[in-house]
Amino acid sequence: MLKSLRLVLCSFLLVAAGVQAAGAFGSGMPASDVANEKLVRKLYETFVNEWNAHRVNDMADLWAIDGDHVDPDGRMVKGRDEVRALFTKQHEVVFAKTKLTLTVASVWFVSEDIALVDGTYAITGIVDPKGNEIAERKGLLTSILLKEKGNWLIEASRLMIPAPLPWRRD
């Protein structure tokens, strides 16, 4: 009888622990994915904070040394130094007083050290080279992140401003 009671109690505790663990990890996600997703989202929170403070060096430091970035017009820069140079040039005039909002919609872990990120962004306060304010710019982003030495870094960043397709009616 005592063995049966212990078995029932142990079974109950294991089930309870499993339910608690499943809730903590969200929809059966591995604990490592939960922790890494928090770190990836924190990286983008940091990026937004650095953008809004116009600290281009700190923004560029979030890229892998060989990472690249593609602007919505297709201009690509390769390597952290070129990313830094692009951000520096943009934040001297065009983005000097901008405010960025960014939402990470999804983080998909291809492996333990590779993540695919999709999201949206909006930038206000953009000016053209003559100083005329441009309407808010909204777009989509897709990035590939690599975990190097315990830190998530942007390996590839792609920005897009959706344009209507002439053959779509909806």
- What does the alpha-carbon distance between residue 89 and residue 87 come to, in Å, rounded to a whole number? 5
Whole-prediction pTM value? Answer: 0.80
When pLDDT is cut at 50, 70 and 90, the band that residue 152 belongs to is very high
DSSP structure class, residue 148: E
- What does the alpha-carbon distance between residue 33 and residue 151 come to, in Å, rounded to a whole number? 14
When pLDDT is cut at 50, 70 and 90, the band that residue 16 belongs to is very low
Closest listed residue to residue 100, CA positions, set 119, 116, 75, 81: 119
Residue type, 46: T
Closest listed residue to residue 62, CA positions, set 119, 124, 147, 140: 147
Which pLDDT score, from 0 to 100, does residue 17 have?
Answer: 42
- Residue ranges of domains in the chain, CATH in brackets: 29-160 (3.10.450.50)
Which pLDDT score, from 0 to 100, does residue 27 have?
Answer: 55
List strand residue ranges (DSSP E) for 47-148, in order: 63-70, 76-78, 99-111, 114-124, 137-148
pLDDT of 10 > 70? The answer is no
Average pLDDT over residues 78-106: 97
Which pLDDT score, from 0 to 100, does residue 2 have?
Answer: 46
When pLDDT is cut at 50, 70 and 90, the band that residue 151 belongs to is very high
- What does the alpha-carbon distance between residue 26 and residue 136 come to, in Å, rounded to a whole number? 35
